[in-house]
Structure 1
Amino acid sequence: MKTIFILEDEDSIRDLLNVLFSIEGYKILEVSTVSDFNRLHGTVDVDLYILDVLLPDGSGIDVCNNLKKNGCSETPILMMSAHAKTIEIDKMCDPNAFISKPFDIDDLLASVRNLIGPA
């Protein structure tokens, strides 16, 4: 079973992603803050990171860059934001994929399957 680690501060979006990916058969690890992410990172093998850009205690962009610098460059990263544009995000941290919020569920699932395949 493939594991998706979600860093998203909005409860409703995090809950939706949890339900959506669980139904698809993925294992989910979810947190709402960068500090919780840092505490749990490394405790489980991860197949995909889904990171929000704006967080209450930091930036998903910084998390993305830290993952790439610290040995996780092979694990795909999907960034999400309601405020940033793909070109801006690509310049700042070069994720494997980017989804704008609000997102289409089918587009999100297609992106995840494209990055890591089915569960």
Structure 2
Amino acid sequence: MATILVVDDELGIRDLLSEILNDEGHTVELAENAAQARSVRTQLRPDLVLLDIWMPDTDGVTLLKEWASSGMLTMPVIMMSGHATIDTAVEATRIGATAFLEKPITLQKLLKAVDIGLNKSMHKPMAPVMQKPGLQMAPADLTVEAAMTGGTLPEMVLDIGPQSHQSFNLDGPLREARDEFEKAYFEYHLAKESGSMTRVAEKTGLERTHLYRKLKQLGVDLARSKRNAL
């Protein structure tokens, strides 16, 4: 995975992005201003930078120009802002930014921009058409904040076809059948998302703490789910 530098003067944004990207397997470095960003850029040469535009010392566009003019813009830079104009976004792109994310940043747009910035040849589709029986979900535009604090997703559609290898005891009590289904449901998503709790939380519409409690209650082996995903 990659080393990603997150530059933002807001502690909450830095912490949220760091947790999400760490959960995706990346190494994350943090900077709260341009001075720290310059230091990290020089010492570690990150693979990608998430750069806020409005910062107290030097704004992100000025820092981007500085890197571009000095030959240090050797990594993709994704600009972030909640107050920037279209002209600012166009200018940043002209200077060399690979993408522009408007705050509040949606989780899907963040991960997609990072994937594209890192030049990954294969991208996970937002709403895959599954050839095998399983769970299909419509895309959700959850913000980063909503994904970490709880959010809602569109209605899930359960498609269990004739070739399904999952069976449930329909002759037993409803509670047992429901628990069996929920365990299989979460194990399916854990395997599909390579054990990423952030992605599973997004897919299932559960807040992370609630998700952890639910998995523990159902007896889902997280370590085994990650091994099965490899």
TM-score normalised to structure 1 length: 0.90
1:113 counterpart residue number: 115
Matching residue's letter, 1:91: E
Alpha-carbon distance in 2 for matches of 1:39, 1:77: 16
Structure 1: any 5+ residue segments left out of the alignment?
none
Displacement of 1:38? 2.2
Q: Say if 2:5 and 2:28, in contact at 8 Å, map to a contact too.
A: yes
**Higher Cα radius of gyration:** 2
Structure 2: any 5+ residue segments left out of the alignment?
124-230
2:89 counterpart residue number: 89
Q: Say if 2:64 and 2:73, in contact at 8 Å, map to a contact too.
A: no
Displacement of 1:67? 1.3
> Within 5 Å, which residues of 2 pair with 1:33-52?
33-52=33-52
Whose relative contact order is higher, 1 or 2, with alpha carbons under 8 Å and at least 6 apart?
Answer: 1
User: 4+ residue stretches of structure 1 with deviation over 3 A?
Assistant: none
Q: What is the aligned counterpart of 1:102 among 90, 101, 104?
A: 104
Q: Say if 1:9 and 1:33, in contact at 8 Å, map to a contact too.
A: yes
Alpha-carbon distance in 2 for matches of 1:52, 1:87: 16
Alpha-carbon distance in 1 for matches of 2:61, 2:91: 10
TM-score normalised to structure 2 length: 0.48
Alpha-carbon distance in 2 for matches of 1:46, 1:110: 18
User: Which is strand-richer, 1 or 2?
Assistant: 1
User: Which is helix-richer, 1 or 2?
Assistant: 2
Corresponding pairs, count = 118
CA RMSD in angstroms comes to: 1.6
Alpha-carbon distance in 2 for matches of 1:112, 1:47: 10
Q: Does 1:76 align with 2:45?
A: no
